[in-house]
Structure 1
Amino acid sequence: MIRVLSIVLLVLVGGSVTAQAADKPTAPQVKDLTMKAAAVVETLGLDRARERFHPDGEFKFGEIYVNVIDYNGTWLIYPPNPKNEGKSVLNVKDAEGKLLVQEIIATARGMGEGWVQYHWLNPATNTIQPKLTFVKNVPGRNVIVYVGLYK
């Protein structure tokens, strides 16, 4: 029994979200990464968080990246295309017409955190794919952090 628990712990620790693009993270790993990114924003602020989220590494690898928006729907951190930071995406629709940013804001405002589904361009494949995104309100910062997983 101890040997089985040791193996399970080894798999869980070794299976955490890392900067290895070859590993496609699971929904629980995406949620954990979102929570960790929200803690970075809460503790360090946006500028220092941006420095950690933009380069490839723990918070950006393969198709995984951290987004940060404010409650007005302005992209504050968007690693796939940083030149879009500062732009309003409040009325952006996904490939099927869903007002996804409004749903992200409603989820963060209403529940503090949760999952949102939509269809978005995967920067790793350059194709529109279903995406499951975990959304987290950052207390005291009036921003929302989210990370998505392409299905």
Structure 2
Amino acid sequence: MFSRVYLPLVVAIGLATPAWAAGQATKTEAVAMVTRAVAHLKEVGREKALADFSTAGGPYTDRDLYVVVYDLTGTCLAHGANAKLIGKNLSDAEDVDGKLYIQERMALAKANKTFWQDYKFTNPSTKKIEPKEMYCQVDSDLAVCSGIYKQ
């Protein structure tokens, strides 16, 4: 246990920690999550990896960070925050501003090995529609993605 000498220091350090550090994921964490997911995909195969990515509360979800995987036609193959989207072609999906974000994502995936994309989506932590920045890495015919919410 902390002695009386160190306790004020621990409290001061805790108060100096930004609120987002414990609650919201960072861009670095999103890139790391996607990198880990792509490695897992290669290690265990598509079927097992997609199931693992779609397990709520599993190792591919962390606070507001989760993995989503699309084929290059816009069909959702895995979704760590909303299993109802799995198996659906979402290429006509629009965000609240009318942006066809899945169409844009698939165009970016066909032109780039990795990329960031901005759009708006429901944050699973707050249940509010928020600006989101999605990082994707293309592996074969899949776009493996994870993103952060910007408040």
The two structures share one fold, judged by TM-score above 0.5: yes
Give the distance between the partners of 1:57 and 1:23, measured in 2 at CA: 17
Deviation at 1:23, TM superposition (A): 4.4
- Residue 117 of structure 1 deviates from its aligned partner by 0.4
**How many Å apart are 1:126 and its aligned residue?**
0.8
State the Cα deviation string for residues 28-47 of structure 1 (Å, max 9, x = none). 22112112112212332222
- For 1:65 and 1:110, the matched residues in 2 are separated by 24
Report the equivalent of 1:40: 40
TM-score, length basis structure 1: 0.78
Which secondary structure state, in structure 2, belongs to the residue aligned with residue 124 of structure 1?
A: coil
1:83 match = 84
Q: Where does the alignment leave 5 or more consecutive residues of structure 2 unmatched? A: 1-20
2:144 aligned with 1:149, yes or no?
no
Counterpart secondary structure, 1:38: helix
Q: Percent identity?
A: 31
Q: Distance in 1 between matches of 2:110 and 2:43?
A: 20
> 1:129-148 deviations in whole A, cap 9, x for unaligned?
00000011013xx1110001
Shift of 1:111: 1.1
Q: Distance in 1 between matches of 2:143 and 2:137?
A: 6
Name 1:133's counterpart in structure 2.
Answer: 134
Q: Extract structure 1 runs of 4+ deviating beyond 4 A.
A: none
Offset at 1:92? 0.5
CA separation in 2, counterparts of 1:51 and 1:67?
A: 11
- 1:3-27 CA-partner distances (Å, limit 9, x unpaired): xxxxxxxxxxxxxxxxxx9442211
**What one-letter code is carried by the residue in structure 2 that aligns with 1:128?**
I
1:40 counterpart SS class = helix
Q: Which amino acid aligns with 2:145?
A: Y
The aligned amino acid for 2:82 is N
Tell me the alpha carbon deviations over residues 83-135 of structure 1, each in whole angstroms, 9 at most, x when there is no partner: 32111101101111111111111222101111000011111111010000001
Give the aligned partner of residue 105 of structure 2.
104
Q: Report what 2:70 is aligned to.
A: 69
Query: Number of paired residues?
Result: 129
CA drift of 1:71 comes to 0.8
CA contact (8 A) 2:34 2:137 kept: yes
Report which of the two structures shows the higher radius of gyration computed on alpha carbons.
2
Please list, as runs of the form range in 1=range in 2, the aligned pairs for 1:5-16 lying within 5 A after superposition.
none
